[in-house]
Structure 1
Amino acid sequence: MFEETPRVELTPAAEDLLRRLRATHGPLMFHQSGGCCDGSAPMCYPAGEFRTGDADVLLAELDVDGVAEPVTFWMSRSQYEVWSHTRLIVDVVEGRGSGFSLEAPEGVRFLTRSRVVGA
């Protein structure tokens, strides 16, 4: 049986980067829109800077050791319909992502990997 909501987890590298970004930018959030190219990667913003609405689903409030508040993970509803049967794993890879995501100046980018859940 499939889970109704995918689980979202962070790799140790993603947690390390989030701690650094939190120290500089304050509370954080992710949004993954499902567009092409950078739009299909999770984008990291200061919490509340990206406006969410009825077209978005809150998938998780991620706890990061050393960070006071959870990092929210939002996804566009249309992309959620495609990914609803997966566990999302937020990782970090070398290379420059979108200039709008907070990690862009670091020379790395967030990347979502996935695993099918359920039987």
Structure 2
Amino acid sequence: MSDEPRVELTPEAAALLRRLRESHGPLMFHQSGGCCDGSAPMCYPDGEFRTGAADVLLAELAVPGVAEPVPFWMSRSQYEVWSHTRLIVDVVEGRGSGFSLEAPEGVRFLIRSRLLGT
């Protein structure tokens, strides 16, 4: 098993999470196995998205300047496909069509990935 982090944040994603935390309180991510925007990481107030046996907690992301970690959940079916990758949460311009908290900011979270061990 690798000691590499399974999920990490770009500096831009961390900065956006700090702003969202100020407005919405503690946060969480969920990455589903859906298509289109359904496969983008969605950011919610912590606990607003109900997780269960069909989900895997991949990481507790430390965000500089935020007291509590941000849990990153993924649907188990999506995890089975991506289990060999390290996920990198980034931010790009443009609005997604989901309910993620960053939508009003005119940006959206995006996953970039890298094979573990590379």
**TM-score, structure 2 normalization:** 0.95
Q: Percent identity?
A: 85
List runs of 5+ in structure 1 lacking aligned partners. none
**Aligned equivalent of 2:60:** 61
Aligned length: 118
Aligned to 2:90: 91
Taking the aligned partners of 1:79 and 1:107, their CA distance within structure 2 comes to: 26
Whether contact under 8 Å (1:33, 1:75) holds in the other structure is: yes
Structure 2 partner of 1:15: 14
SS of alignment partner, residue 113 of structure 2: strand
Q: TM-score, normalised by structure 1?
A: 0.94
Q: Displacement of 1:66 after TM fit?
A: 0.7
Corresponding position: 1:81 with 2:70: no
Give RMSD over aligned pairs: 1.7
1:35-46 matches, cutoff 5 A: 35-46=34-45
Q: Is contact 1:5-1:59 (8 Å) kept?
A: no
- Once the two structures are overlaid, the 10-residue window that deviates more, 39-48 or 98-107, is 98-107
Supply the AA of the counterpart residue of 2:111.
T
Q: Is the 8 A contact 1:88 1:114 kept in 2?
A: yes
Moved over 3 A (4+): 2-6
Following the alignment from structure 1 to structure 2, what is the Cα–Cα distance between the partners of residues 102 and 70?
A: 17
Query: Does the alignment pair 1:26 with 2:25?
Result: yes
The runs of 5 or more residues in structure 2 that have no matched partner are: none
Partners of 2:76 and 2:2 lie apart in 1 by: 16
Q: Distance in 2 between matches of 1:55 and 1:89?
A: 22
Instruction: Give the distance between the partners of 1:48 and 1:74, measured in 2 at CA.
Output: 11
